[in-house]
């Protein structure tokens, strides 16, 4: 570089500015408010609790009297639910005055400003009743924005009836269920005299297992898929599979009898299990005879 000359100015490239990537707008979270399922009164028949029994042979049973008829709807329940219902009907305080499960639920609902308006026995799947409990805001309390005036949830009939009695709510039974399962009142009178010797419980269990062992369960693969879906938390798929099983149960009398027999044995209702076993055996024999006739 010659003397007296100035060095040329070096211009460095500018560092590019960091621009944060634009985030996609977050979807707005809308509150999904459950609402009560449609209730068509013409499809239901009102009922009241007529009697609660604890028997040695058939376990615990609630008899619902169908209004304007002489029919009773038997609902088999557990020992705890039976005790809770009897205590409420008799206005008997619990031990040390502490609330049990159904009393706790009633107290919680009232503290939150809700009440039970009605309960429904909606369907018979196999030999199992399905029920729903309807909740609404207590009178005089305004519902929050967007909140439905009434909602209903799935429930066991024993819990539904317990809550209905505690809230003084109406009990409704689907007319198809009432027509199929309703029995005349005299059917629940004292056991008829005679009747001969009864089977030992062990003999009932053994014979039931032998009858069931030869039966092919058409839902076995669906049940396995359901277990996997639940473990993997694929709950929507699990619900669909559960609905498929219920649909098959509703249409397959033999399968529904198998489920009812197993449930009766688990609950210690051995006399009912024996009756269902005999019905299952007769049905299978009729099916086999029909199959043989069609092959001729």
Tell me what pLDDT residue 192 has.
Answer: 42
- The burial of 253, by beta-carbon neighbours within 10 Å (0-12 exposed, 13-18 middle, 19 or more buried), is given as middle
Distance CA 287, CA 293 (A): 10
Q: Does residue 189 register a pLDDT over 70?
A: no
Tell me what pLDDT residue 44 has.
Answer: 95
Distance CA 4, CA 97 (A): 108
Tell me what pLDDT residue 70 has.
Answer: 83
Quote the mean pLDDT of the chain.
79
Tell me what pLDDT residue 253 has.
Answer: 84
Distance CA 132, CA 44 (A): 13
Q: What share of the chain is helix, strand, coil (3-state, %, to 5)?
A: 45, 20, 35
What is the four-CA torsion angle of 233, 157, 258, 265, rounded to 10 degrees? 100
The pairs formed by 76-79 with CB atoms below 8 angstroms and a separation of 24 or more are 76/267, 76/269, 76/272, 77/157, 77/158, 77/161, 78/158, 78/267, 79/54
Q: Does residue 194 register a pLDDT over 50?
A: no
Q: What is the mean pLDDT of residues 49-64?
A: 78
Out of 94-103, 143-152, 188-197, 242-251, give the one with best mean pLDDT: 242-251
Tell me what pLDDT residue 121 has.
Answer: 95
Tell me what pLDDT residue 193 has.
Answer: 41
SS3 state at 292:
helix
């Amino acid at each position: 570089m010659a003397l007296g000359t100035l060095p040329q100015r070096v211009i460095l490239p500018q560092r590019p500015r960091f621009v944060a990537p634009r985030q996609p707008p977050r979807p707005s979270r809308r509150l999904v408010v459950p609402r009560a399922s449609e209730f068509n009164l013409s499809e239901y028949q009102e009922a009241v609790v007529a009697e609660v029994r604890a028997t040695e042979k058939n376990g615990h049973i609630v008899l619902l009297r169908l209004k304007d008829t002489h029919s009773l709807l038997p609902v088999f329940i557990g020992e705890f639910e039976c005790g809770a219902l009897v205590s409420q009907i008799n206005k008997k305080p619990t031990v040390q005055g502490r609330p049990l499960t159904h009393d706790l639920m009633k107290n919680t609902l009232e503290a939150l400003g809700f009440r039970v308006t009605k309960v429904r026995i909606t369907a018979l799947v196999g030999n199992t009743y399905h029920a729903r409990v309807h909740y609404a805001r207590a009178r005089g309390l305004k519902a929050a924005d967007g909140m439905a005036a009434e909602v209903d949830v799935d429930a066991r009939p024993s819990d539904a009836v317990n809550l209905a009695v505690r809230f003084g709510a109406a009990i409704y039974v689907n007319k198809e269920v009432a027509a199929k399962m309703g029995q005349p009142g005299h059917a629940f009178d004292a056991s008829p005299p005679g009747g001969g010797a009864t089977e030992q419980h062990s003999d009932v269990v053994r014979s039931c297992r032998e009858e069931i062992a030869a039966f092919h369960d058409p839902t076995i693969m669906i049940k396995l898929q359901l277990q996997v879906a639940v473990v993997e938390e694929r709950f929507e798929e699990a619900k669909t599979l559960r609905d498929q099983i219920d649909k098959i149960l509703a249409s397959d009398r033999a399968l529904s009898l198998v489920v009812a027999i197993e449930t009766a044995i688990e609950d210690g209702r051995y006399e009912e299990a024996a009756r269902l076993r005999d019905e299952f055996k007769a049905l299978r024999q009729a099916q086999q005879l029909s199959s043989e006739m069609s092959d001729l």
